[in-house]
Structure 1
Amino acid sequence: MDFELTDEQRRLRKEIVAFARAELGRDVAEDDRTGRFPREDWNRCAEFGVLGWPVPREYGGGGLDPLTTMIALEALGYGCRDNGLVFAVNNHLWACVVHLLLHGTEEQKRRFLPPLSAGTLVGAHALSEPEAGTDILSMSTTAVRDGDGYRLHGTKCFISNGPVADVFVTFARTGDGVGTQNRLSAFVVTADMPGVVKKRELPKMGLRTTPMGVLEFDGTPVPAANLLGREGAGYQVFTSAIEWERSFMFAAQVGAMERILENSVAHANARRQFGRSIGTFQAVSHPVADMKIRLELARNLLYKVGWLKREGRMALVEATMAKIFISESLVQTAQASMDLHGARGYVADDGVERELRDALAGPIYAGTNAVQRGILAELVGVRGALSGGGGGSR
C-alpha cells in the first residue's frame, strides 16, 4: 500500500484547507456559546461541493473515491475550527447519504441525492430511542402497514442535525415482538410529512453548532416507495453502513489532531517561563511528541480503511480500530493541549477548552467505544465478547 498523496489529492487538500480557513468558522466562539447552527457556513460548504464529495456525479455529487473522500474530510477538519459544523457535515454524509447510496432505488437516489449534495436538504439518522440506543433491536418505534404505505408511531432521540434536518433515514419495527433482526425496516422520512414533530432541541457539552434533538412520529404516513431496501432488511441496512460511519466520520478528527498539534507547538515555542520557552522543558515537549505519534498512527489507520473501501474490500476490523483509536487519541491530544496552555487553555478566549469539549463526544457517538472493543474482540476470535454488554446511546 502506498499512501503517498497523488498530485490531484495534494491540490484538493490545499484548496480545501484554504477554503475552510477563509470561509468557515468566523463566528465559532459565539455560535458555540449560543448553540447556533451556522447555516451560512453550511451553504458555503454546499457551494464548495463538500456535501456531495462521495456521491457519484450522475446524482449531483463530486464523485470522489473513498480514499480521496477521507483525505478531503481530514483537510476540512484541519482547516475548519468549527468542529460542530464539520460534525454536522459528517452526520449528513455518513448517517443519511451513505444509506441512500448503498440501498436507495434509482428513483430514491435521483429524488434525494441531488438536493442533499446541494445542501438544500439536510440529512439525519433517526435510530436511537429513549430506551434503545446501542441495543437497536429493542426499539419500539413501529411502522404498521396502511394501504399502500405505512404509519409510523414512536419517539427518536439524540438525533444529530435533527432540529434542522429535512430528511431522516428512519428505523422502525415492521413485525411483532422485539429482538429479531428481520422485524426492522428502514425508511426515508421527510420533515414535512404529517405527524413528524421536532419535539425539542437538546443542549450539549460540546459540538454545540451541530443541533441535536428529539423527533416524534404520530401516525406519520410513509409511502411504500420510501422504504429503503426491502421490508424486514432494516438491520442489514444499518450494519452495511457501519464501516463507513465508524471510520469516515472520524477522518476530520485526524485533521483536528494536526491543527491542535500545530497550535501546541507554536505556544510551546512562544510562551516563556524562567527565562526560556516552555518547550525546552520535557514536561511540555514529551506530550507534544506523543501528539505527533498519535496523529501518524491515526492517519495510517484511517488511510488503510479508505484504501480498502476504494478497492471494494471489507474493512470492519480496521474501521472498528480506527473509531476507537482516533476518537480516544483526539481526547488525549486535546487534554494535553489544555495542560500545555495552562490557564490560557481553560478560559474560553482561545478555543482550547472548546477543542476538548468537542472531542469528548467521539468515544460515545457512532457506537460507544466500550461496545466497539467487544465487537473487535469478537472479530479477532473471542467468543461471546459482546455478551458482557456495553453502554451508551448513539
Structure 2
Amino acid sequence: MSSAIKIKTHRELLDSRQPGHGMPGELFGRQDVFETDVEVFFHKLWILVGVTADVPEPGDVHTVDIGKASIIIVRDDDENIRAYRNVCRHRGSRIMKKAGKATVGMLVCPYHQWTYDLDGSLRHSSHMGKDFDPGCHSLIPVHLKTVGAHVFVCLADEPPEDFSKLETVMAPRFAPYDLTRTKVAHELEIVENGNWKLVMENNRECYHCAGTHPELVNSFQAEDFGFCPDGQGEDALNAYNDYVKRNAATQEAWEKDGWICERFESVDESVHTNFRTQRLVIAGANESQTMDTQVACTKLLGNVSRRDLGDVHMWGHHSWTHVMSDHAVIAYVVPLAPDKTLVRTVWLVHEDAVEGVDYDLQKLTEVWNATTNQDAELVANAHSGTQDPAYRPGPFSQFTEAPLDEFSRWYDARLKQSGV
C-alpha cells in the first residue's frame, strides 16, 4: 500500500529554513511560489522598471511587462515622465503590443483606435453616443517616482510609504552626477535560467568573484570579497589592516571634499523598501570599473570635475546600481517563470558624450558585459542544483554572505505580512 507524499505549504517551506542557511529548493522551483513572489515583491512594492534616458523626448514610450501586468512609461509634452497600465479603457486590449521602446504622437489602441493623449486622457473614441463621458475613461495611472536616473513604479493602490527613505538617502548621493542628463550608451538583456531570488543572491555576495569574474576583480581590492581572520597568518592579517586603513583614509578625504561615503542600510524585516548604499574605493586608479580602472568616458557625468570618486553603489531587492565619475551601470531583474529571469543592464554616459570621441564602447562595457554573462551561467548551474533531490541548503559564510541571510529574513517577513 503506497502512501501519499505530503507537499509542504509555502509557509512550511519558509519556516523550515535554518537560520544562517539557504532557502529550500522548492522556494526556487515551484510555480505557486513564483506566482506569489510576483504578486508580493513586484506588484505590491516599489520596483525599478527603467531609466529616464529610456524616454528622452516627448512621445517616447518604454513598455515593461511584470507578470500579468504591463506598464507604459512615457514622457509627455511637458517633459514629465508618467506611467500607465497598458490596458485600453474600452475592452482591455494592450495599447502597446510588445515590451520595449517606441516613439508615438499619441497612444492609440490597435483594436478600436481609442486614442489617448500622453497625459493619459481619452481624446478620441468614435460611435460611443452623446451620453458617453471620455473624462471617465482615461488611462489608469501608476504610481511613479524618479531618483537620479532611476524610474520606480508601484502597482499597489497604496504604495509603501518608506520609499521616502530611499529618496532622502539617495538623492544627495546622485545629485552631483546629474543622472537625468545622461543617455543610454548600451543596454543588454539576458534571460537567465534561474529563479529571480538566486539572481539576487548571486549579486549580493562576492564570495564567488575571485574565481569566476576575472574582468570585474580588476576594479576590486582582494579584501572587498570578504575576509575571515580565522586561521590567517600574520602577513594576511597585516594586509587586511592596511586595507582597512587605506579605505578609511580615502573615504575621509572624500568626505572632507563633500562627497557622501557613509554606508547606509535599510534591509531588516520591518522595511518594505529594501536597499543599501555606500561609496566604495576602486582598485588601481580608483576611477571606474574598467579593465585598467581608469575612466572609459572622458566627458564626466554632471558637474563632476575629478575622476577618482570610486563607485557609489545602490542595491535594491531586485536591482543594483554602480555610479562612477564617467558612467553609470544600472541593472534590474524581471521574473518570467520559476526558472527564468530577465536581467536588463543599462550603461549611461553624459548626454553630450560622443562615441568614438569621448568614450570607447568596448572599454565602457567589457567588464559588466563579461560579468553579466558569467553570472548567467553561475545562476543556471545553481538553480539546477537546488532542484536536485539531493540538495540540502548549506550555511552562509558570516564573513562574505551575511547579506544573503538578511535577504532571506526580509523575504520571509514580507510574505508573512501578506498572509503567507
On whether the aligned pair clears a TM of 0.5, the verdict is no
**TM-score w.r.t. structure 2 length?**
0.27
| Structure having greater relative contact order (Cα 8 Å, sep ≥ 6) | 2
Larger strand proportion, structure 1 or 2?
2
Larger helix proportion, structure 1 or 2?
1
**TM-score w.r.t. structure 1 length?**
0.29
CA radius of gyration, larger in: 2
